[in-house]
Structure 1
């Protein structure tokens, strides 16, 4: 088992780091060639999607042909960039039409305040306001650096997101109720060898960083073409 884990981590590091040029500048053609996306096929990371019905940390149909799994930290500026600039277009273009599902994975790498924010988002999810909280937090993020995440600040995002029971939210946010689930996400990221956030698996094809929207749409369109051909 230990040998298999080492192999998995090594493969993950090679896959993710091999597709990143500071996360942002790689050309579309080069990226597509490196990813080697094959029509309708599951990529080298395997099928990471859980497709759990009613999962509050997921957007889109359970049976969508393409699933984007996102590993992210709430204090990561490039995660915020993805949330603000890229995710809305993917939702409008693919999620709303049933072609894409987005599944969230916590990867709090910037200290205890990142962990607090992950707990807070899951507390919001308990009241059906996960994505509203997620977007409110990222909308307020600066373009660089790792913003502080205090209890009062997180409570403010919950109020903005329309979380109905703020007292319950605050209690759960400050508890260890969600720590096992957050740790499970982080463990999966570690086993995959993910070196930084945001990181993505699109039907098992890795992508690292807040790449241009076209990087995501190129991969998704290729995979959807494969579904049409099936």
Structure 2
């Protein structure tokens, strides 16, 4: 049985929220501890990269789209491709059914196609939001799915009805909310530092400065460790 897609009232309310620069209220600090990477996360970059940036995002959040369209490509070129940074992407479906359905579609495509579907969804964000508002979300997501191997009606309905993927999303949402006090998107965790889409996190240059500083700290720590080891021999 296919999911019950968003009602017209819910879709209109959700669409109005998308006018905000960042989606949802500001969240508080979740503490300075590091958020461990889990098997359900989606990662860009080397597992051995010295710096980890975690992003909690909604596929229908304009600020998240801006980050992925404008900022992330620069970070990929300067830091991810060079082995300095890994990006850990975590779903945070703040806009209800339209977000859940979009993320389930990406999960159904498989991990090797996950970011391709995500890019497609961000590219077509306005159309997806309009489709939800007008009660034709199913057809719009089916069109996206067909571009990534989910070609038949039966495949699409089985995808939307996948309880395991829905539980993964619900669990991530709960952990993000309860442990990290996330309630807006995008929210970032850079080596334990939690931030919303503000200040240095609004530009690739600003994030890059933070990464460079962290890499410098890591290098200094490694040098001190090597010096201590040499002194003890």
TM over 0.5: yes
Q: How many residue pairs were aligned? A: 186
Partners in 1 of 2:138 and 2:203 — Cα distance? 33
Tell me the CA shift for residue 49 of structure 1. Answer: 3.2
Single out whichever of 80-89 and 117-126 deviates more from structure 2.
117-126
Equivalent residue, structure 2, for 1:174: 161
Equivalent residue, structure 1, for 2:218: 227
Structure 1 residues not aligned, in runs of 5+: 1-11, 17-43
Tell me the CA shift for residue 214 of structure 1. Answer: 2.2
Tell me the CA shift for residue 169 of structure 1. Answer: 5.0
3-state SS in 2 of match to 1:116 = helix
3-state SS in 2 of match to 1:110 = coil
Structure 1 residue runs of 4+, over 3 Å off? 145-149, 167-170
Q: Residues 147 and 124 from structure 1, CA distance in 2 versus in 1: closer, same or farther, beyond 3 angstroms?
A: farther
1:105-132 C-alpha deviation (Å, 9 max, x unpaired): 1111112111111211111235x20001
Tell me the CA shift for residue 207 of structure 1. Answer: 1.7
Say whether residues 1:15 and 2:29 are aligned partners: yes
Say whether residues 1:48 and 2:35 are aligned partners: yes
RMSD: 2.5
3-state SS in 1 of match to 2:88 = strand
Say whether residues 1:130 and 2:117 are aligned partners: no
Q: Residues 156 and 165 from structure 1, CA distance in 2 versus in 1: closer, same or farther, beyond 3 angstroms?
A: closer
Q: Is the 8 A contact 2:60 2:129 kept in 1?
A: yes
With normalisation by structure 2, the TM-score equals 0.71
Tell me the CA shift for residue 215 of structure 1. Answer: 2.4
Q: Is the 8 A contact 2:27 2:184 kept in 1?
A: no
Tell me the CA shift for residue 165 of structure 1. Answer: 4.3
Tell me the CA shift for residue 171 of structure 1. Answer: 2.0
Bigger radius of gyration among the two: 2
Partners in 2 of 1:147 and 1:80 — Cα distance? 16
Partners in 1 of 2:125 and 2:80 — Cα distance? 24
Q: Is the 8 A contact 1:51 1:63 kept in 2?
A: no
Q: Residues 59 and 175 from structure 1, CA distance in 2 versus in 1: closer, same or farther, beyond 3 angstroms?
A: same
Q: Residues 130 and 136 from structure 1, CA distance in 2 versus in 1: closer, same or farther, beyond 3 angstroms?
A: same
Tell me the CA shift for residue 157 of structure 1. Answer: 2.3
Partners in 2 of 1:61 and 1:115 — Cα distance? 28
Q: Is the 8 A contact 1:113 1:148 kept in 2?
A: no
1:151-190 aligned at under 5 Å gives the runs: 151-160=138-147, 163-167=148-152, 168=155, 170-190=157-177
Query: Which protein has greater RCO, CA pairs closer than 8 Å, 6+ apart?
Result: 1
With normalisation by structure 1, the TM-score equals 0.72
Equivalent residue, structure 2, for 1:198: 186
Partners in 2 of 1:223 and 1:148 — Cα distance? 42
Say whether residues 1:75 and 2:76 are aligned partners: no
Structure 2 residues not aligned, in runs of 5+: 1-25, 223-233
Tell me the CA shift for residue 159 of structure 1. Answer: 3.5
Which structure carries more helix by proportion? Answer: 2
1:142-192 C-alpha deviation (Å, 9 max, x unpaired): 49x9554522222322334xx234333552133323011111210121121
